[in-house]
């Protein structure tokens, strides 16, 4: 609706990259919802007695459009947050808007095909269908993810160097605002989602490894690394940003706020990695040990994996505790945080200034003609160009 409103006001420009990413996220959400409607409508007409039976293979394919597609909504929203917060807080620029936009568009056609890895043992699917969906088609999504994986750090380095922040090979990174919980949440989300969630997902999505990994605890580790780790950290950073800007409140405790990204990244990162190892090394089942213990003639025991479980348990409890701290800081700041000052607002500007050194202030004053100012005073302090 916001985009439609902008178009009605005779604006013919290109959507900003963050808005473009949000729009693609919306399209992926529609795809997932339509898949869910198709799956549950099919099941409903059978349950209502309108048809005598349903084809289980067709139902499973329809179901996983929403079963897996609902996670892709999180994925695209998370990547959009990455671009947004690395720019606003870290001073990043976009290395190439065309390349980043192309990666988002590739997701539209390929990302939901990753759901095929849930159907590898379905006897109704041909080997050709499985190989195509888990390799050639799936590579389109993996390639798009690799573009973001290089484009976002490259944009962060380029933006900070243009602003004269940090010298040497890695000075741009070591000088970054690591004591800012918004920035720390975003960077840990990028790193841990990429190395733990993304890599395990690409490996697990291939037909060969899928047959040995899919019903093990490694799958639990994979989706904890994506949803419970990467996505959650990105949204934690976004919530902190909204508290500072939209609600104009300081944190009740900066130390507790900073504990959230560091504590949660360490605890849930280690927990996710242990889950993957437990599944791959010891074959611990994905859901319950009875899956294999009830097989006649087989002997199965979890005792070999016990040392890793002894580490996994405390790490999961620690992650839950840090999650509770996040809720405490967020709600406490909204209810009891002190109002932000002009100096606090300046701290949310990209490090090194609103624009990189030598870049002109891009202000489309033509869009402001004939309009009354509707920009809040707090945002006006942050933006050098307002209507």
How far is Cα 88 from Cα 86, in angstroms, rounded to an integer?
Answer: 6
Give the pLDDT of residue 341: 87
* Shared-domain flag, residues 331 and 208: yes
Whether 88 contacts 241, CB under 8 Å: yes
Give the pLDDT of residue 43: 94
Give the pLDDT of residue 374: 40
Helices and strands counted in the chain (H then E): 17, 0
Give the pLDDT of residue 297: 67
Whether 185 contacts 260, CB under 8 Å: yes
Give the pLDDT of residue 354: 67
* Shared-domain flag, residues 274 and 127: no
Give the pLDDT of residue 42: 95
* Shared-domain flag, residues 111 and 213: no
Which residue stretches of the chain have pLDDT < 70?
Answer: 10-11, 289, 291-298, 347, 351-387
Domain for residue 85, yes or no? yes
For tokens 């990043």, the residue is: 92
Which domain CATH number covers 316? 1.20.210.10
Which residue segment(s) compose the domain that 253 sits in?
179-354
Give the pLDDT of residue 348: 73
* Shared-domain flag, residues 158 and 193: no
DSSP letter at 48? Answer: T
Give the pLDDT of residue 352: 64
Whole-model pTM: value is 0.86
Q: How many domains does the chain have?
A: 2
* Shared-domain flag, residues 138 and 219: no
């Amino acid at each position: 609706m916001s985009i439609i409103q902008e178009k009605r006001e005779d604006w013919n420009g290109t959507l900003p990259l963050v808005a473009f990413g949000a729009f693609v996220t919306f399209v992926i959400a529609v795809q997932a919802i339509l898949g869910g409607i198709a799956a549950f409508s099919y099941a409903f007409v059978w349950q209502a007695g309108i048809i005598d039976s349903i084809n289980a293979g067709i139902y499973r394919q329809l179901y996983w459009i929403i079963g897996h597609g609902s996670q892709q909504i999180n994925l695209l929203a998370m990547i959009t947050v990455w671009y947004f917060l690395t720019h606003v807080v870290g001073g990043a620029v976009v290395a190439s808007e065309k390349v980043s936009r192309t990666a988002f568009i590739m997701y539209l056609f390929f990302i939901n095909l990753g759901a095929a890895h849930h159907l590898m043992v379905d006897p109704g699917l041909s080997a050709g269908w499985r190989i195509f969906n888990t390799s050639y088609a799936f590579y389109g999504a993996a390639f798009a993810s690799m573009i973001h994986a290089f484009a976002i750090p490259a944009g962060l380095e380029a933006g900070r160097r243009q602003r004269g922040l940090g010298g040497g090979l890695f000075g741009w990174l070591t000088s970054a605002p690591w004591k800012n919980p918004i920035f720390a949440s975003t960077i840990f989300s990028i790193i841990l989602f990429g190395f733990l969630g993304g890599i395990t997902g690409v490996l697990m999505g291939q037909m060969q490894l899928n047959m040995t990994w899919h019903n093990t605890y490694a799958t639990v580790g994979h989706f904890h690394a994506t949803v419970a780790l990467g996505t959650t950290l990105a949204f934690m950073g976004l919530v902190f940003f909204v508290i500072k800007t939209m609600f104009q409140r300081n944190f009740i405790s900066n130390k507790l706020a900073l504990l959230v990204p560091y504590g949660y990244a360490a605890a849930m990162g280690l927990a996710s990695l242990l889950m993957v190892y437990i599944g791959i090394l010891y074959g611990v089942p994905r859901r319950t040990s009875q899956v294999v213990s009830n097989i006649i003639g087989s002997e199965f025991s979890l005792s070999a994996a016990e040392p890793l479980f002894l580490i996994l348990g405390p790490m999961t409890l620690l992650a839950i505790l840090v999650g509770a701290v996040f809720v405490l800081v967020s709600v406490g700041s909204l209810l009891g945080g002190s109002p932000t000052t002009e100096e606090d607002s300046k701290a949310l500007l990209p490090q090194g200034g609103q624009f990189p050194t030598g870049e002109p202030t891009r202000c489309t004053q033509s869009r402001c003609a004939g309009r009354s100012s509707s920009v809040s005073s707090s945002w006006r302090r942050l933006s050098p160009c307002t209507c």
